[in-house]
Amino acid sequence: MLDSSGHVTNLRMNLFTKIQKKSAIVGVVGLGYVGLPLALRFAEVGFQVVGIDIDEKKVNQLNRGESYIGTISSHSLAKAVPQKFSATTDFSAAKNLDAIIVCVPTPLNKYREPDLSFVHATIDSLLPFLKKGQLLSLESTTYPGTTDEEVLPKIQSAGFHVGEDFYLAFSPEREDPGNPQFSTFTTPRICSGITASCLEAALALYGQAIETVVPVSSTRVAEMTKLLENIHRSVNIGLVNEMKMVCDKMGIDIHEVIRAAATKPFGFASYFPGPGVGGHCIPIDPFYLTWKAREFGVHTHFIELAGEINSQMPAWVVGKISEALNQQAKSIHGSQILILGIAYKKNVDDLRESPSVEVMDLLQDRGAQLAYSDPHIPVFPKMRKHHFELVHTPLTQMRLAEFDCVVLLTDHDQFDYDLILKSSKLIVDTRGKFIQPKPHIVRA
């Protein structure tokens, strides 16, 4: 008869053997821009993968082999379905899983405080179906302490001894949709665990699907690492956006300045201004640390200032549009304005926190007649905060000429910039795409 230590050893060896032989069944909870690529990666290397999502429409699409994410083709999805991948809304599927990866949103509430309701709801839904010997890894970006303060007690409350008969890890997602240089496989992955054995289990799992796995000493280090990555971007984007406004007052082209500075082979990294920041990381994640830092009596001046500058950009862009129209003896009210690009970044179909939509709201409030062109988003989707009954406007010489102003907000590669340049009466360029100065081009 095995004693408790022997039983624990057997549980661990069973999990590790299954992972090594790729007979482990991997579950991914949350099938969005982070979870779905990861699920398909595990399926690609030979694991049986079960995706769990509360959105029945998404689940049905996936099981038909249809993708709802522009950067994932239906062809690549169909290759995994049903051989290696299936999706469900039923959390009881967790009882058949060996590893569970949680990729659910961690937004901010209206007070810019962390909203962990999706994480709590997911763990609570999984708890009745967890079993000994499983690995659970949280990937959702969050403040340092979330895994051990919020998730660990829930697992323990179900009677598990984490590090002995259950393994709990944190491995922050690092997805960059639309970036052809880095995939789920080639992007190095940070891994941590509540205990050494938890870390060992996480390294074994992710090592099967990710080219480079980087262990760190604790879940708090991993949580802080993810925040630092996004705060670094937020602060530098805030800096260059502020520089843009200074250069504008001085009549200096900020994009020429950046190109010149980039010739220095050391000590400078290029960041580019824009109409604001968007996506699921940069506008949100820094405030997770700001909120947590207050617990320790620390005021995060840099982080908050960068967030303030970046959040002002949509209004600044609208001010530049107003100035440009005024030069044409027109006002925003009643003007026909075409928005080029409504996704938060180029070459994706993701509208989350998109500054383009903020600009559209401000223009609509001032009486503009709006249209948009975005080859990645054929119909403006239903959103909680924004309401536009619009569809994608194809770009033609005749159509462009109808607008009083064309505003470049997201510089998709699919746009015909020569056509835009030649056919538009007035262009407000927030991305520095039109390098040569022209009378009808205004930088914003």
66 dihedral zone (left: phi>0; alpha: psi -120 to 50; beta): beta
249 by Cβ neighbours in 10 Å (0-12 / 13-18 / 19+) ranks as exposed
Longest C-alpha distance within the chain, in Å?
Answer: 90
One DSSP character per residue, 142-190 reads --TTHIIIIIHHHHHHTT--BTTTBEEEE------TT-TT--TTTS-EE
Residue 338 · residue 372 · CB < 8 Å: yes
Given the residues 103, 191, 247, 281, the one annotated as active site: 281
198 included as an active-site residue: no
Residue 211 · residue 188 · CB < 8 Å: yes
Alpha helices in 251-284 (DSSP H): 254-261
370 dihedral zone (left: phi>0; alpha: psi -120 to 50; beta): beta
The amino acid at 378? P
Residue 217 · residue 144 · CB < 8 Å: no
One DSSP character per residue, 9-44 reads HHHHHHHHHHHHHT-SEEEEE--STTHHHHHHHHHH
Catalogue the active-site residues: 281
